[in-house]
Structure 1
Amino acid sequence: MDASPFRSHWSLDPEVTFLNHGSYGACPTRVLEEQSRLRARMEAEPVRFLHRELEALTDAARASLGAFLDADPDDLAFINNATTGVNTVLQSLRFAPGDELLTTDHEYNASKNALDFVASRWGVKVVVAKLPWPVPSPQAVVDAVLAHVTERTRLLLIDHITSQTALVLPLATLVRAMRERGVETLVDGAHGPGQVPLSLRQLGVAYYSGNCHKWLCAPKGAAFLYVRRDLQPNLRPVVISHGYNSRRKDRSQFRLDFDWLGTNDPTPFLCVPKVLEVMGGMLPGGWPEVMASNRDKALAARAFLCQRLGVAPQCPEDMVGSMATVPLPDGFPELPSVRGLDPLQDRLFFEHHIEVPITPWPRPPHRHVRVSAQLYNSHAEYQRLAEALEALLG
């Protein structure tokens, strides 16, 4: 099988065709080496590292991430995953009877659970906007969401890029339209950073919770929460720690609250400057070329798989990033495994050594395969997937 020349930068299992970067990411070996160096430095003298050195290292990492996201570093807090950020915002906000919290039927299950939990605590209603499927245009998504906005709507929770269907949603248009209606937006940006260009300064969103371990390729446990400056006084981390009653005046309360939540391993987010350097240095055009190259590969994979399987794309090209979904024929009657995975996903892995998610969408027995495109992937791997699907579904 023709392998990508970039695969040597990762320690991926050579026996597995890995087409599922979107689930947990994959970290380049040079970045893992940096993490090991930082861990060794921390364990050599933990007090020196955590009390005397960590603050400056965190500031440097935050500045690097802020430059990449076009955001003021003072508006960013490091957290361990995007779901933590969604929970942090939802559990900081206050609601009243009659309020409505709006989301879509494509929302990531963990984030939807957090929304339902908070709604039940406050006795408010969760309104779910059903998006058209297949999706004819970005405007169709905007129209579907805005049709559910009322005078009682207090917040929109929405994915930047959906997990189940890999749709790049028209975020800027939605954020602007919601603010015009007096409603703020909380973005679950788990898949956004590193997959599509992102300027938080221009977006003007209230809250954006994003992962660094997926498409930025940082170590697991690196994520961030962006909070617009005017909303920071009313937001607190889920874990209240030493910063709450700090008398320091040289740092914002937002930083004081989030920069120390207790003893943890800070090395994943401290590797952000290194991963931005490493990934951005793999192609001559830097990060813009990395994202464009991955998108081109995802579009080519989608077109190839649709042609081989005799199916049609489910959304226009301008709603595709570095992932793409392809519909599959119905009628694979086996029950999910104990891991909750679709039986076809298990058979692809155990019989063909292909790791790729199969998602029941919009509901069983309808299903889609979601392919990811990272620098380490090659067209030959999508060919192998097509052959395996034809063998299993034929």
Structure 2
Amino acid sequence: MKDEKANFKLHHSHFRDLWTLDPEITFLNHGSFGACPKAVLAVQQKLRSQLEQEPLRFFGREWEPLIDNARNQLAEFVGADSEDLVFVNNATTGVNSVLRSLTFSSNDEILTTNHEYNACRNALDFIASRTGARVVIAKIPFPIESPQQVIAAVMERISPNTRLALLDHVTSQTGLIFPIQQLVQELQQLGIDTLIDGAHAPGMISLNLREIGATYYTGNCHKWLCAPKGAAFLYVRRDRQSQIRPLTISHGANSPRTDKSRFQLEFDWTGTDDPTAYMCVPDAIAFMGSLLPGGWNELRQRNHQLVLEARQLLCQALEVLPPCPEEMIGSMAVIPMLGALENRHFMTVHDELFDKFGIQAQIVPWHESPKLLLRISAQIYNTLEQYVYLAKALREL
């Protein structure tokens, strides 16, 4: 296996050279933190130099037009009006901003699922402990046979006290695309607001926030969009914007300006920070969309097909069945780890893959059988041979 590891860099895609990723590592975990291309990092460095050369001019004159331009182009990409978007550091901040802005009572229920991202579940528990509201869990099976099981599980847990539903668009642990638009519509008909954690969605799947119709939607730009770290957005429906405040209250709270909404005035400036990650979002959109002749549609389809092929060969290697239908997969897929691997600690398996074989893949603990999941990602710099190598490493483990 050592000889295979030494020679494996020969199987790397030529697209790999567009990133600063370590050539000695078989990087199959784009989904966790993303990876920013060299060309976009160069734009960010230029902006940082511009900032530091004359900070007062930058923040006084240049900062706002750059932010507005980035917002306009991002809004077009995700199918929203720019007036309904603000930048935040990450999707977790977006979720917290909404939850901390709303008022709950001890009679209220907040609905989520057993697939909810841990950080956001912690935010829910924090709000519940402060307000007395009850967190209700819709238990979605995994493995799963169809998206309809998601809808049925969520709707079964609705009650007259359900005030808000916090739902993933793409689940982190299990890599499932939830039928968000149908869920939002059914909940909306019952007068229930929706907060959608779309951390993985921008760049992985085609987005149209107007059609989805969620009350609140937050997504990361540093994952599949490949912007620098620290770039995400929060969408708030126009009729709810006056209620939603940033976690940090700053100058926008009493700004005399009337050319922008209070919503944007508050979120756009929450204190001195490095805003260059936001400003690079248009460059990330343009760069990733230029890599293949068919643009973003071809890129998304290419990544989708690659992860399906990788899932198939890994399921065969581990002698397990695919845990969900292909229609619920974007650019990430999860494979159950049964047999001898299932009873090992997830970090032990992760560390052995990394230390012995130079493979970076996500190993996920799950609260039911199968207790251990392997999550793989597929980005344009990945090749099928890399997953063949992963399968061999897993068999050796």
TM-score if structure 2 supplies the norm length? 0.96
Match of 1:124 in 2: 133
Question: Is 2:349 aligned against 1:344?
Answer: yes
- Is the contact made by 2:227 and 2:280 (CA closer than 8 Å) also made in structure 1? yes
**Structure 1 pair 130/207, CA: closer, same or farther in 2 (3 Å)?**
same
Aligned residue for 1:384, secondary structure, equals: helix
- Is the contact made by 1:193 and 1:215 (CA closer than 8 Å) also made in structure 2? yes
Deviates more, 1:147-156 or 1:284-293: 284-293
Structure 2 regions of 5+ residues with no counterpart? 1-7
- Is the contact made by 1:210 and 1:225 (CA closer than 8 Å) also made in structure 2? yes
Match of 1:52 in 2: 61
| Alignment equivalent of 1:259, drawn from 249, 268, 282 | 268
Question: Is 2:383 aligned against 1:378?
Answer: yes
- Note the 1:290-305 alignment, pairs <5 A: 290-305=299-314
Match of 2:146 in 1: 137
- Note the 1:211-290 alignment, pairs <5 A: 211-290=220-299
Structure 1 regions of 5+ residues with no counterpart? none
Percent pairwise identity: 54
1:361 alignment partner AA: W
Match of 2:96 in 1: 87
2:381 alignment partner AA: Y
Aligned residue for 1:121, secondary structure, equals: helix
Post-superposition offset of 1:362: 3.4
Deviations 1:35-93 (A, max 9, x none): 00000000000010011110110000000100100100110000100000000000000
Aligned residue for 2:83, secondary structure, equals: helix
Post-superposition offset of 1:134: 1.1
Post-superposition offset of 1:309: 1.4
- Is the contact made by 1:5 and 1:376 (CA closer than 8 Å) also made in structure 2? yes
Post-superposition offset of 1:222: 0.4
Structure 1: how far apart are the matches of 2:317 and 2:339?
Answer: 16
Moved over 2 A (4+): 330-336, 362-365
2:394 alignment partner AA: L
Deviations 1:8-52 (A, max 9, x none): 111110000000000000000000000000000000000100111
- Note the 1:358-369 alignment, pairs <5 A: 358-363=363-368, 366-369=371-374
Structure 2: how far apart are the matches of 1:362 and 1:29?
Answer: 38
Match of 2:193 in 1: 184
**Structure 1 pair 291/331, CA: closer, same or farther in 2 (3 Å)?**
same
Count of matched residue positions in the alignment of Structure 1 and Structure 2? 388
- Is the contact made by 2:112 and 2:138 (CA closer than 8 Å) also made in structure 1? yes
2:313 alignment partner AA: F
Question: Is 2:85 aligned against 1:76?
Answer: yes
- Is the contact made by 2:337 and 2:370 (CA closer than 8 Å) also made in structure 1? no
Match of 1:19 in 2: 28
Aligned residue for 1:126, secondary structure, equals: strand
CA RMSD of aligned residues (A): 1.2
Structure 2: how far apart are the matches of 1:28 and 1:132?
Answer: 37
- Is the contact made by 2:198 and 2:217 (CA closer than 8 Å) also made in structure 1? yes
- Is the contact made by 1:330 and 1:367 (CA closer than 8 Å) also made in structure 2? no
Structure 1: how far apart are the matches of 2:395 and 2:61?
Answer: 58
| Alignment equivalent of 1:329, drawn from 313, 323, 338 | 338
Aligned residue for 2:257, secondary structure, equals: coil
